[in-house]
Amino acid sequence: MARDPILKVRGLDVSFRTNDGPVHAVKGIDLDVFAGEAVAIVGESGSGKSQTTMALMGLLASNGEARGSALYRDQELLGLSERQLNKVRGKKITMIFQEPMTSLDPLYKIGRQLCEPLVHHGALSWRKSRARAIELLELVGIPDPKRRIDAYPHELSGGQRQRVMIAMALANDPDILIADEPTTALDVTIQQQILELLASLQKRLGMAIVFITHDLNIVRRFADRVYVMRLGEVVEHGEAGTLFADPRHDYTKMLLAAEPTGTKLPPAPDAPVLLEGRDVEVVFGTGGGGWFSGAPHQLRAVDGISIALRRGQTIGIVGESGSGKSTLGRALLRLLPGEGTIRFEGQDISKADRRHMLPFRRELQLVFQDPFGSLSPRMTVGQVITEGLLVHEPSLSTKARDARASEALKEVGLDPAMRNRYPHEFSGGQRQRIAIARAIILKPKIVVLDEPTSALDRSVQKQIVELLRDLQKEHDLSYLFISHDLSVVRAMADYVVVMKQGRIVEEGATEAIFEAPREAYTRALMAAAVNDTRFR
Amino acid sequence: MTDAPIDLAKTGSEKPIVGRSLWKDALLRLRRNKAAVASACVLILVALAGIFGPMISPHPYDRVYPQYVRAPASLEAYPREEAIIPAFERAMARTRLDIGEIDVEGSVVRVSISSEDPLDPRIVRYIDRSDLFSNARIEDLAADERTGVLAADVHRVRFPFGTDANGRDLLARIFIGIRVSLAIGVLASFMALVLGVTYGATAGYLGGRVDNVMMRIVDILYSLPFIFFVILLVVFFGRSFVLIFIAIGLTEWLDMARIVRGQTLTIKRQEYVEAAQALGVSSWGILRRHVIPNTLGPVIVFVTLLVPKAILLESLLSFLGLGVQEPLTSLGMLISDGASNMRGASWLLIYPAVTLTAILFALNFLGDGLRDALDPKDR
């Protein structure tokens, strides 16, 4: 390539001072971005991909330090003063973040937030910048921008907020747009739209996009060139096409092969029904109903769903956020009050109170999505996983509990010597294993898995999926697998239920649903999740 | 569980690795904060002074020295040399002896004496008659018994911080004042901690109607005027040490209950609480194992700021004359006394005020350092 890169990074080094001595997050990497191209930086969490761009933007945490050189059109970015850096940052190099819920200030109308960079960098008046803001909103596909410009962030959906963030980033015609996992927090169908928008904007405006992601599927469809990062180093880089066709580094090969594979056979047809829900309904009152607030608002999160889980079966519950799939899972475990009949092994538990529910609790377990939030930070791992034993087998001695903890940890593939450590000392995948150990230590019959793999890296996802399948075989478990990730559902479940707005849209054997989806909604979900065509 | 013995044998050989808890993490961060460490040292020193000071102090805190009323702070011992010599001369004059130069050495006064007749040992009685001197004796008597050295002990006392208007040693009184003030601060805060944490966590965790009723009770208690409340208590039960910390504790737990309730409301939505519910853990178990330990970070910070608040409240009560009873004292009472004697005896105000300020400064710095150390966002 004869052209000169507009961003040229050489020997970038980022380190953080911590309690345990310095942590080297980025170890001397080189990176080039040419005008108008899409560069993807791929890596799992902890690979330093985000810190690389944070260092370029001067956004490192206060205990971080960047060394090396980063030239933007022959101007050194590292070591610039805040004031000099602001001439480039937010104008020529802009950034969008993962979390659209928190990147907008809830106190200001989006118009005002859009105008801010225009007035600041573009030296427009507030009046002129408003016209430009409407133009920008139109550009990013916000419907009715003239009215929407006076909306507050909470009045917009997640996808719309991400569009506003993109509009803000585009405000001053940047040369480089850095997108840090811009779609991870969004539903698959919205993800699809945002990526399409980014691709078309790139083509129309001719800017370069640096795309940071862990999702190779997005990279395959989006990027011209790819940098694969691992533990702070670039292990491989090259043209996207060649890299995917012929990966040279083992790590890249591992990432490419990390899609969960295999399928699950349905249980024997005469397997008994363990858990049965009939016309389950969950209604949330969302305010109102008081003296002054008029009629109560009600939200039907789960609206008359019937489901039957057999021994050894895995039912995958699929749907976008807000479809009521997690609520259904909790209602079936009687963790949320609901209407309808719920039977466990033929006994009606839908009216059981706390005390009568207790013997069933050990049979019905739950694993959560967020391995960071589901483990109490002040308890050791041993205490966390043996808590259920305190309730259900109070006669066990401390020693016996400890032995059970070791056993459970071994079963989920962790070193039992770790049981006196605290959750924050473990990685996301290890924590999810701990959460699984907590569920299976009681030898339950049913485990509700609420998005157990969504917060994890692809390669870790695969391991967790395999672990869950092994445990199922060993203990004859039944799973209710809630997920929005269709590839994981395909590998885990033998029966799929598609939910939308609290109702079942479609259900059937996994293969049938995946091969021949009947409903438009199911087809849209599939199209968004498994698609290899390139954007643009 | 048939395979338990095998597992036990195995785990016995594997030494469990002890993890670093969040508390240890916070302690490490705190240790790097110089201001907080210095404050902790100051607090330890002050606390030691409060505990052991009254025991090792040469003057009991309630001992009155009528001859040394409002003696200014000084490192020199009382009575001073200038006062001893004339008094000694006056006492010697009655002996009608020829005396040399009077020499004061520590707490012994010496003078060489001579006379034409042999010295009568009974002359020492003249000296002993004085209030100032005791144990007068004749030393180095020459062979002819006509010359010698007369020595007498003087009772000399030091008041490094001076004495108050009643002639009591201010240092000893500051020691006892630290003891009383710190005890009230710590006990009242402890009371507020126990009451507030239990009440707030219960209200927050149970939620709904229970929460509503419990928090309305707190609101009603909030609206009671504090001073009025204390005056009522004092009128009913009389002034006492216990009453004061109960009064302060009873008003301060309200803030604590609100803080803990707010914390509990957020913690109760955490997935680990839901996980515990799914395991069938009882409400009390969840409160004890999950909710309360996780509220403790902000609570500890609040307590370190509550202790100075309680000390200040006690000072206020003492200043108003509602505090502890004489001769027991507290820093607030000492300051109040000092303020009324400010013109003539500034040391009576300065030393207690400096002590109280040092304590409050240290507690606030420590609270600040703890907040930084416990703040998980800084990780």
A376–B290 CB contact, under 8 Å? yes
Spatial contact of A458 and A45, defined as CB atoms under 8 Å apart:
no
Structure token digits, residue A261: 């594979």
* Cis check: omega of the bond before A266, within 30 degrees of 0: no
Cβ-nearest to A417 among B17, B23, B270: B17
- Reading the block at residue A199, the tokens are 């691709």
Residue carrying the six token digits 């206020």: B316
Distance from CA of B29 to the nearest CA of A (A): 7
The single-letter DSSP state of residue A103 is S
pLDDT tens-place string over residues B319-332: 777 777 778 888 88
- Chain B residues with CB inside 8 Å of A370's CB? 271
Partners of A400 on chain B (C-beta within 8 Å) are: 1, 4
More confident residue, A62 or A10: A10
Give the pLDDT of residue B8: 35
Q: Which amino acid is at A402?
A: D
pLDDT at A287: 52
Give A156-196 as a DSSP string: S-HHHHHHHHHHHHHTT--SEEEEESTTTTS-HHHHHHHHH
CA A104 and chain centroid, separation: 19
Task: Please tell me the least confidently modeled range out of A65-69, A95-99, A491-495, B168-172.
Answer: A95-99
Report which listed range, A43-52, A175-184, B312-321, B358-367, is most confident: B358-367
Number of A:B CB contacts under 8 A?
117
- The Cα B361–Cα B46 span in angstroms is 12
pLDDT digits (tens, 9 = 90+) for A192-203: 888 888 888 888
β-pairing, A495-500 with A503-509?
Answer: antiparallel
Distance CA A339, CA A282 (A): 6
What confidence score (pLDDT) does residue B2 get?
Answer: 33
- pLDDT at position B11: 39
Using the predicted structure, report yes or no on whether residue A79 has a pLDDT greater than 90.
no
Residue A395 with chain B: CB contacts under 8 Å = none
Q: Kindly determine whether residue B20 and residue A422, on different chains, have CB atoms separated by under 8 Å.
A: yes
CB contact under 8 A, A425 and B20: yes
End-to-end Cα spacing for chain B: 42
Domains of chain B: 35-66+164-378 (1.10.3720.10), 80-155 (3.30.1360)
- What number is the ipTM of this complex? 0.75
Per-residue pLDDT, averaged over B358-375, amounts to: 85
- Please give, rounded to a whole number of angstroms, the shortest distance from the CA of B275 to a CA of chain A: 7
**Chain B residues with beta carbon closer than 8 angstroms to that of A402:** 11
A403 to chain B: which residues are within 8 Å by CB? 4, 7-8, 11
- Write down the residue that tokens 């739209």 correspond to: A193
CB proximity list for A247: less than 8 A, separation 6 or greater: A236, A253, A256
- Tell me the CB-side half-sphere exposure of residue A339, using CA atoms within 13 A: 11
Q: Are A255 and A457 in contact (CB under 8 A)?
A: no
Q: Is B279 in Cβ contact with A387 (below 8 Å)? A: yes
Q: Is A36 helix (H, G, I), strand (E, B) or coil?
A: coil
pLDDT of B215 strictly over 80: yes
What are the tens digits of pLDDT across the range B186-204?
A: 888 898 999 999 999 999 9
Look at residues B243, B268, B248, B250 and name the one whose alpha carbon lies nearest to residue B196.
B250
Contact A366 B278 (CB under 8 A): yes
Considering only CB atoms, A375 lies closest to which of B20, B272, B293, namely: B272
Query: Nearest Cα to A43, choosing from A52, A34, A55, A35?
Result: A52
What does the pLDDT read at residue B5? 36
Place of tokens 């006076």: A150
Please give the pLDDT value at position A297: 65
Closest Cβ opposite residue B19 in set A368, A380, A407:
A380
Contact indicator for A236, A212 with CB cutoff of 8 Å: no
| A243-299 tens-digit pLDDT | 888 888 888 888 887 777 777 778 877 888 888 888 888 887 655 545 555 555 677
For residue B155, pLDDT over 90 is answered with: no
- H helix runs in A263-351, sequence order: 325-332
Interface test with B, best of A422, A430, A436, A474 (most B CBs within 10 A): A422
Nearest C-alpha of chain A: how many angstroms from B52? 37
Q: Which of A369, A388, A406 sits opposite B279 (nearest CB)?
A: A388
Chain A partners within 8 Å of B9 (Cβ): none
Considering only CA atoms, which of A329, A444, A472, A459 is closest in space to residue A388? A444
Q: Does residue B4 have a pLDDT over 50? A: no
Distance from CA of B338 to the nearest CA of A (A): 47
- C-alpha dihedral (A490, A259, A365, A398), degrees to nearest 10: 150
pLDDT in tens, A203-222: 888 888 998 888 777 888 88
pLDDT greater than 90 at residue B44: yes
Interchain CB distance below 8 Å, B278 and A358: no
The predicted-structure confidence for A421-431, as pLDDT tens digits, reads as follows 888 778 888 88
Q: Across-strand partners of A24?
A: A15
Residues paired with residue A212 on neighbouring β-strands, in sequence order? A41, A180
Residues A111-159 pLDDT 10s: 888 888 788 776 778 888 888 888 888 888 888 888 888 888 888 877 7
Contact list, B289 vs chain A (CB under 8 Å): 376, 379, 383, 387
A140 burial type by CB count under 10 A (0-12 exposed, 13-18 middle, 19+ buried): buried
Q: Give the span between the Cα atoms of A464 and A486, in whole angstroms.
A: 15
| Helix extents (H) in B159-291 | 170-206, 208-222, 226-237, 241-267, 271-279, 283-286
Tell me the per-residue pLDDT of A361-402, one tens digit each, with 9 for 90 and over. Answer: 888 888 888 777 888 888 888 888 888 888 888 888 888 888
Measure CB to CB from residue A425 to each of B19, B23, B270 and give the nearest one: B19
